[in-house]
């Protein structure tokens, strides 16, 4: 997406403090988009590793042009407040990117207690649902027909089984089913819904995944990629940017694998 294509387009990015979400927010802001970057406002270790904080996120040279909003996407109340802040600052919204999520695992499904499954669903499915419920109504009023978009970050785990992180796999499968249905429901109002499914990407989630599997480091995951290497967050972000662009106007309900061949 370039500034020439979409000057001043208004985009909310959920899970923007680091990783793929941060890369998306930075690239959008560099292109001239007005970006609302939403993430947690305090330390959180519920998943066994520290999640991103929006107040300490590093957006580099474009930091001053990003609207930072502290909100937990698992909370309907907090996302409603975030929507109100965006409405006040931007007047509305044209596009939504949901990159929030987190991994739960380290056990078989039979060993996973209900609390583990609930946590996986909260950080992945519920965060998506609350984001959609709070922010999509702002997109209804966007005048940019043909550019009204929702793009989510799912996972290869949303389409294939992965032993040892079953709670996360179940949550991501639920995310994909949700997005397929949402794409069908929003097609009639000219809002496209697509998602990217990354393979092993060098983010905090991958570091936690290595710990859950008892691996020496993240490089051990490269064996599962036919291309023989891990992914950079910027590579996944590039797929998100494409799905937000004018070139993707006829694409909806599509899962874009950015996984170095892991799904094969």
Listed by start position, the domains of the chain span: 10-258
- In tens, the pLDDT along 9-20 reads 999 999 999 999
| Eight-class DSSP state of 115 | H
For the cut 80, the answer to whether the pLDDT of residue 94 exceeds it is yes
| Dihedral sign computed on CA atoms, order 5, 7, 10, 13 | positive
Confidence at residue 4, expressed as pLDDT on a 0 to 100 scale: 41
Return phi, psi of residue 10, to 5°.
-105, 120
* CA 106 from centroid of its chain's CA atoms: 22
**Mean pLDDT, range 148-157, rounded to an integer:** 96
Query: H or E segment at 29?
Result: helix 19-30
Interatomic CA distance for residues 199 and 158, integer angstroms: 11
- In tens, the pLDDT along 22-51 reads 999 999 999 999 999 999 999 999 988 889
Cα atoms found within 13 Å of the Cα of residue 98, Cβ hemisphere only: 33
CATH 2.60.40.1660 fits 10-258, yes or no: no
For the cut 80, the answer to whether the pLDDT of residue 2 exceeds it is no
Return phi, psi of residue 250, to 5°.
-100, 10
Confidence at residue 6, expressed as pLDDT on a 0 to 100 scale: 54
- CA-to-CA dists, residue 244 to 106, 193, 238, 252, angstroms: 35, 10, 10, 11
Return phi, psi of residue 151, to 5°.
-130, 130
For the cut 80, the answer to whether the pLDDT of residue 122 exceeds it is yes
Interatomic CA distance for residues 125 and 135, integer angstroms: 15
- CA-to-CA dists, residue 122 to 55, 58, 73, angstroms: 22, 26, 9
Which residues of 85-130 form beta strands (DSSP E)?
Answer: 95-98
The DSSP-derived string for 163-210 is: TTBHHHHHHHHHHHHHHHHHHHHHGGGT-EEEEEEE-SBSSHHHHHHH
Query: H or E segment at 26?
Result: helix 19-30
Confidence at residue 215, expressed as pLDDT on a 0 to 100 scale: 82
What is residue 108's three-state secondary structure?
coil
- In tens, the pLDDT along 73-91 reads 999 999 999 999 999 999 9
If one compares 75 and 201, the residue with the highest pLDDT of the two is 75
């Amino acid at each position: 997406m370039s500034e020439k294509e979409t000057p001043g387009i208004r985009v909310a990015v959920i899970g923007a403090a680091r990783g793929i979400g941060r890369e998306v927010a930075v690239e959008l802001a560099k292109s001239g988009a007005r970006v609302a970057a939403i993430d947690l406002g305090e330390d959180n270790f519920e998943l066994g590793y520290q999640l991103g904080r929006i107040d300490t996120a590093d957006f580099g040279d474009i930091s001053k042009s990003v609207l930072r909003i502290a909100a937990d996407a698992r909370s309907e109340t907090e996302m409603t407040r975030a929507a109100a802040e965006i409405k006040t600052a931007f007047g509305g919204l044209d596009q939504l990117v949901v990159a929030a999520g987190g991994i739960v695992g380290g056990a078989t499904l039979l060993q996973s207690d209900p609390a583990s499954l609930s946590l996986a669903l909260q950080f992945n499915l519920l965060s998506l649902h609350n984001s959609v419920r709070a922010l999509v109504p702002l997109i209804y009023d966007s005048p940019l027909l043909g550019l009204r978009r929702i793009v989510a970050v799912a996972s290869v785990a949303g389409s294939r089984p992965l032993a040892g992180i079953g709670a996360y796999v179940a949550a991501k499968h639920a995310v994909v089913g949700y997005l397929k249905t949402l794409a069908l429901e929003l097609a009639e109002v000219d809002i496209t819904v697509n998602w990217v499914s990354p393979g092993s990407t060098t983010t905090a989630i991958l570091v936690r995944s290595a710990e859950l599997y008892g691996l020496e480091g993240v490089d051990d995951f490269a064996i599962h990629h036919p291309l023989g290497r891990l992914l950079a967050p910027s590579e996944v972000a590039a797929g998100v940017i494409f799905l937000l662009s004018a070139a993707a106007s006829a694409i909806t309900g599509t899962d874009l694998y950015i996984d170095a061949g892991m799904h094969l």
